[in-house]
Amino acid sequence: MTNEHNPDWSRRTLAAQAMGHIDEASRAVVLPIHVATTFIRDPDNAYSTGNIYGRPDNLTVREAEGIIAALEGAAEAMVLGSGMSAATAVFLALRPGDHVIAPEVMYWGLRHWLLHEATEWGLRIDLVDTSDVAAVKAALRPGETKLVWLETPSNPMWSITDIAAVAAVAHAAGARVAVDSTCATPVLTRPLELGADVVMHSATKYLNGHSDVIAGALATRNKDAFWARIRRNRGILGQILAPLEAYMLIRGMRTLHLRVKAACDNAMELALRLSNHQAISHVLYPGLPEHPGHDVAKRQMQGGFGGMLSIRLRGGEAAAIACAAKVKLWKRATSLGGVESLIEHRGSIEGAGSPCPLDLLRLSAGIEDTEDLYRDLAAALAE
């Protein structure tokens, strides 16, 4: 492999050209997939190539990690087998008894794990409204709080947390800050530049963008002892992403900027139109001026407000479920961030104990024609 990229290239260019790497043997512009699990030792019993075994490391995985690190402005990145694998890897690098602050409203799978599984590990968890910096500051326990976990925009209510402000109060109390930036993507927000220590992505979503890879990613501001513990655990526990999935993730990231822009444009237009629809009581989208987090989002999200929005229906839960059942272009499916637009009644998925209102539909705007998307949704709302 040769590296033929210019250090002055933008992040968009680096992603589009997969860092500009060229295969040395074939001179191909697309690198081969390295699937070997074991490697030949040198005559002196060393590994001069740095390749030892496939569980802790892989050449194709390293390529994906290099792109993510460049996109986030990180010292190093790491890809894992799923978004949940990436998120839980951060918490499992803590010690039993450590105190953690996390959002009241966040991805339900991680929220459930924190409340029901992480406590078995010995972590002490407090859920707070992280969009309220004063609430975060009040919940901090200097010397005890080791991690503040943020998710912004938060799923599925799309509240916004001021990363820089929370990072300042967390660091003053001796806590690290990790940010789930899945829905913002590095195209719109780079948490490390705002003071976060670690950024996490469910790479299944926008980074891959084609609904055909399950993957997670972490990126760090510093290669410190905490990061080394996460990396060591990944190797021991076998959490690494498989080479084929890493290759497909690289392929997806080549079009990341184009896809995110198209999704943002669609979401913004849909949010504006749906705000005036008689069947809808609320449109939750940080791009709308009336959104309580709009000013913060405008400051820390560059070039758009994301492709995710939620709508709350005046007719309640029954109306929301009926609307989702009637769409034809929108796909009734979980997940988000793909090229196709998805609609989901989140309350049915999250179940008892979820803070998600039962009248809410979560919309992941894809890259289709905006008019087609609106007409399909408006027809379902009208029936």
Residues labelled catalytic: 55, 107, 180, 205
- DSSP per-residue codes, 139-152: H--TTTEEEEEEES
Kind of pairing between the strands at 308-313 and 360-364: antiparallel
Encoded tokens for 88: 């839980």
3-state class of 216 per DSSP? strand
- DSSP per-residue codes, 152-185: SSPTTT-----HHHHHHHHHHTT-EEEEE-TTTH
On whether the CB atoms of residues 360 and 347 are closer than 8 A, the answer is: yes
The single residue listed with the structure tokens 């933008």 is 10
On whether the CB atoms of residues 205 and 362 are closer than 8 A, the answer is: no
The single residue listed with the structure tokens 């790479």 is 203
Question: What is the dihedral angle through the alpha carbons of 237, 242, 247, 251, rounded to the nearest 10 degrees?
Answer: -70
On whether the CB atoms of residues 303 and 334 are closer than 8 A, the answer is: no
Strands (E), the chain: 2-3, 21-22, 76-80, 99-103, 124-128, 145-151, 176-180, 198-201, 216-220, 280-284, 308-313, 331-332, 342-345, 360-364
Say which residues have a Cβ less than 8 Å from residue 36's Cβ, sequence separation at least 6: 51, 54
